[in-house]
Chain A
Amino acid sequence: MKEENNILNSIKKQAPSAGFKVPDNYFDSFEDKMMDKIIAEEKSTPKKSILIMMKPWLSLAAMMIFIAMAYYSIPYFTAKNTNLAYNTEEVSLDFLASRLNETDIIDFIVEEDNSPIFEELETNQNILEGLSIEDVESLVIF
């Protein structure tokens, strides 16, 4: 152990750079080279930083545009649906009209609209049939 430690100590004493070396004048020009690089980096950085600074505002603008579009598109879609229903009804009526002739339509109107009248007339007729002329005269006098 001691002998091996001596090996490590002796290696260290030989050269603090541990056998490494650098190109000639590497350190002499280092500051100038570095400052040029830093200035070049600084010049190219503002483009990035403007984008980074604008990022939250761009996100906010995009969100507001999306909300506005959603707000204005809701009535559009609702109206579109109503028109669709209306159109469907219109088409159905047109279809029925093309299938029915004039007689069918008259029969339908008479049947639908006059059925209570017919019933009333029928009832009145039954009442009249049960009365004699005297009964009618007495009703008219009083």
Chain B
Amino acid sequence: MVDQELTDIEIIELFNSEGKQQDAFRLIMSRYKERLYWHIRKIVVTHDDADDALQNCFIKIWQNLGGFQGNSALYTWLYRIATNEALTLLKKKKKVSQYSINDEDNNHGDALKSDPYFDGNDLQLKLQQAIATLPDKQRIIFNLKYFEEMKYQEISEITDTSIGSLKASYHHATKKIEAFLKENIE
């Protein structure tokens, strides 16, 4: 097996060298699968959806890694793909739920309650319900800043949004969540 201590750039070079593609890709998956999974999971909420989106995400990475220019860090590029895949999955689900009799399909809060892979306490459930009330993009920005503790510059590269807009968006998201928690706790 190839050395685990390779840098991202070295892994990409390995990926582009003949006969080493699969080894290099296994290293990328090993290094990023959990971070990307949790990022996707917080957007799509349920484990099944997160698993689908993560698999689609790695297929896209496999198909496009050879053309990665290195203009940004590898992980921001990976997060960008993961974000797009999560949003694509949500859009598909919204389309399906338009024809569904069950309105709960579209409600993240209710989806959480029925998800066997959520064991958060009441406070965590309330927080997720509050996050679920945010628009998609605001939710992504909040997750990246609050949970992943990313810098605005990194979030800007992932979401293709100016730092000023990100700051405003995160501020609004925080206020909405705080208001929701204030209303629903106790």
With A20-B117, A27-B33 known as contacts, the answer to whether A7 contacts B185 (CB < 8 A) is yes
Asked if A8 and B178 make an inter-chain contact with CB atoms under 8 angstroms apart, the answer reads yes
Q: Does residue B77 face the partner (Cβ distance < 8 Å to A)?
A: no
Are B128 and A19 in touch, CB under 8 angstroms? yes
The answer, yes or no, to whether A21 is at the interface (CB within 8 Å) is yes
Q: Give 13 A-B pairs besides A19-B125, A31-B29 with Cβ atoms closer than 8 angstroms.
A: A4-B178, A5-B178, A14-B123, A18-B42, A18-B120, A18-B147, A19-B121, A19-B124, A19-B128, A20-B38, A20-B117, A21-B118, A22-B117
CB < 8 Å neighbour of A35 from B22, B121, B128, B177: B22
Please tell me if the beta carbons of B121 and A14 are within 8 angstroms of each other in the complex.
yes
Q: At the interface, yes or no: A34 with Cβ under 8 Å from chain B? A: yes
State whether the Cβ of A12 lies closer than 8 Å to any Cβ in chain B. Answer: yes
B37–A22 touching, CB < 8 Å:
yes
Q: Which of A37-59 contact B (CB under 8 A)?
A: 37-38, 41
CB-CB < 8 A to A4: which residues of B? 178, 181-182
Residues of B in contact with A (beta carbons under 8 Å apart):
22, 25-26, 29-30, 33-34, 37-38, 41-42, 47, 51, 55, 58-59, 62, 117-121, 123-125, 127-128, 146-147, 174, 177-178, 181-182, 185
* A100 interfacial by beta-carbon distance below 8 Å: no
Across-interface contacts of A21 in B (CB, < 8 A): 117-119
| Nearest B residue to A35, CB-CB | B22
A side interface size, CB within 8 A: 27
Chain B contact residues, majority secondary structure? helix
Chain A residues near B51 (CB-CB < 8 A): 26
Provide the bound-state CA to CA distance between A110 and B146, in Å: 116
User: A11 an interface residue at 8 Å Cβ cutoff?
Assistant: yes
Q: Is the CB of B124 within 8 A of A22?
A: no
Contact of A27 with B181 in the complex, beta carbons under 8 Å: no
A19 touches B55 (CB 8 A): no
Contact A8 B177 (CB under 8 A): yes
In the assembled complex, the CB of B143 is this many whole angstroms from the nearest CB of chain A, namely 9
Contacts A27-B34, A34-B58; A8 near B174 (Cβ below 8 A): yes
B117 in contact with A31 (CB, 8 Å): no
Name the distance in Å between A46's Cβ and chain B's nearest Cβ: 14
Across the interface, which residues of B come within 8 angstroms of A106, CB to CB? none
Q: What are 27 residue pairs bridging A and B, where the CB atoms are less than 8 Å apart in the complex?
A: A8-B127, A8-B146, A8-B178, A10-B123, A11-B123, A12-B146, A14-B121, A14-B124, A15-B124, A18-B42, A18-B120, A19-B119, A19-B124, A20-B38, A20-B41, A20-B47, A21-B117, A21-B118, A22-B117, A23-B47, A23-B117, A27-B34, A30-B33, A34-B29, A35-B25, A38-B58, A38-B62
